[in-house]
Amino acid sequence: MNTVYGNPVYEGGGDMQSSSKLPYTEEALNAWDAYIRNLVTHFRGRIFEWEIWNEIDHTGFKASSPEQYADFYIRTAGIIREIQPESKIIALAIAYVGDTEFIRKFFKSLKDKEKLHLVDKVSFHGYPTNPDTGFEKTEALFNLLKEFNERIEAFQGETGSPSTFGTSGALSNFPFTEMKQAKWDTRRALAHIGRGIPFSLFTLSEFNYPGNRLNTKGKLKIDENLKVVHVKQSYFAYQNLTSIFDSTVIAVAPGRAKISSDSAAVIYAFADRKNNLEVVAYWNSGRAPSDQTTTHTATVTLKGTRLKTPVLIDVRTGIVYQVPESGIRQDGKDQEYLVPVYDSPLLICEKKFLLGRGLL
């Protein structure tokens, strides 16, 4: 649960919108303390992870300084730990993952006050037009966290694609469609979990900001009465993805698979921890998603692996194809597949892998 935003009832208490300043008067801070105390007490049997504020570094949100946020974080985290010692506490929900100066100043302030133990995780956000870009900033964040405490984890807490041009919020100026959204969301998810980074997709349903500003990043379309009226392509695409990539499927060394293609492409290898069956995901990654479904041919090589009954899955559509023998070649201990590729994720795995999940 995210503990966030102010309350205009109290002088200096901020407001109820994302642009709210941190509470800063004695009256407002005391009210905040009471709110946190009651919130954690009420949910302590159901909520075990608490994120403190949202995108404090966002320039459009009247952001406070990293030192002010550090003091506010210490205050809030201390109450949470007092009531629920076993809880995990998440810092920053950072908007600009590349802003290492803000992050460093925040952690330095905590270190100086000997409060680093109050941070279990850091969440970061990001909305690139091409969902496969920007990971050098994520790597820089991981390296920075190691400087302060190697036990602190980091995860993607908010990212997603709209389905229209002109949406409210991030990515408003790109001509997104339902097709592009489905491709973007699945590519973005696999680009994270393929690197071993925990991932959260924003968001399930469309919603309105104040002023009737519609955010179309939801997988469910709403009308003016906030009623769900349509299920988008991205809902079904992400449903396909999550039915395959549960907690038992983990990323493995990237050298286990490679792809040769005429276009820029990426490939990620995974393994099922229950039975050690492998899965690889690949797609064209050089550009933002398009509305085209035209494929070309690529060669996927699995190192030291031989699949007995390989199948090909289009994550976007959920269609499963049998890989023909004419498209398979054994090269020593490696196995090569002549397969289609386009700008949406495709998977190669053993048919048994899907059967074990009740997907065939």
Model pLDDT for residues 246-299, shown as the tens digit of each residue:
989 999 988 889 999 999 999 999 999 888 889 999 999 999 999 999 999 999
Tell me whether residue 81 is in a domain.
yes
Indicate whether 280 and 313 sit together in one domain. yes
Q: d(Cα 31, Cα 219) in Å, to the nearest integer?
A: 36
Tell me whether residue 360 is in a domain.
no
Domain boundary among 222, 246, 270: 246
Indicate whether 263 and 227 sit together in one domain. no
Provide the whole-model pTM: 0.96
**Phi, psi dihedrals of residue 57, rounded to the nearest 5°:** -90, -5
> What spatial distance separates the first Cα and last Cα of the chain, rounded to whole Å?
36
Q: d(Cα 248, Cα 271) in Å, to the nearest integer?
A: 8
**Number of domains the chain contains:** 2
Confidence of residue 33 (pLDDT cuts 50, 70, 90): very high
**pLDDT, tens only, 55-70:** 999 877 767 899 999 9
CATH number at residue 181: 3.20.20.80
For residues 321-341, average pLDDT: 94
pLDDT at 105: 97
Indicate whether 323 pLDDT > 90: yes
**Domain extent for 18:** 2-246
Indicate whether 201 and 61 sit together in one domain. yes
pLDDT at 17: 80
**pLDDT, tens only, 162-201:** 999 999 999 999 999 999 999 999 999 999 999 999 999 9
Q: Are 68 and 110 in contact (CB under 8 A)?
A: no
Mean pLDDT of the chain, nearest integer: 95
- Cα dist from 74 to 33, 68, 177, 254, 260, whole Å: 12, 10, 42, 39, 50
Q: d(Cα 308, Cα 305) in Å, to the nearest integer?
A: 10
